[in-house]
Amino acid sequence: MSETLTPPRVVAPRRRDSQATAAAILEAAKSQFARAGYDRASLRDIAAEAGADVALIKRYFGGKEALFTEALKASFRSDRLKGWNRATFAADIAEMMAGAGHADEGRTHSFQFLLRAATSPSTAPLLNVAIQERFLEPIREWLGGPDAGPRARVLAAVFIGFLVERLIRGEALAGQERAVFVARATATFEALLDEGPR
């Protein structure tokens, strides 16, 4: 009588979630580039923070410069513009700017990353391309009307200036100071939305 042997069950290796890994690498890159800057951030540190192998950075992104470019693009959420209501935009932004500088750590981190990129000669050109594609162009489209390009640039400059002031201040404004700040900031942003004489 012969025994029938059943072959051992082969367990397929657990599939990795490549999208989740790539997303974790991207978040770690934004964090590392914000803290250390492009030149001092290492792929090894980025991989360690993401809990991934360094080789995966090269597989998913191609290298440090390409990863940096993707991290820059991911820092600009141009889809956010679509949700802005033109009627309340100026007051909404003024209220946001009167708030605490570190209320939204994700946004604060992204902004610090962009500031570091702007001050490095090796990354400023990459930042310029990303700003044109992911920030200024959507603002131009959202503003529309005559001179949308220069108006978008001025709006972006003022917006960034307010972000820097809020980041430096840290705490939310209160009382009369907040009321005056919000009123003046609202008027500033409303003027920037105005298409001017036709």
pTM of the model: 0.69
pLDDT for 30-40, tens place per residue? 888 888 888 88
- The reported pLDDT for the residue numbered 25 is 92
pLDDT for 60-119, tens place per residue? 998 898 898 888 878 776 566 667 888 999 999 999 999 987 766 666 667 777 777 887
198, amino acid identity: R
Where do the domains of the chain lie, and which CATH numbers do they carry? 18-74 (1.10.10.60), 78-193 (no CATH)
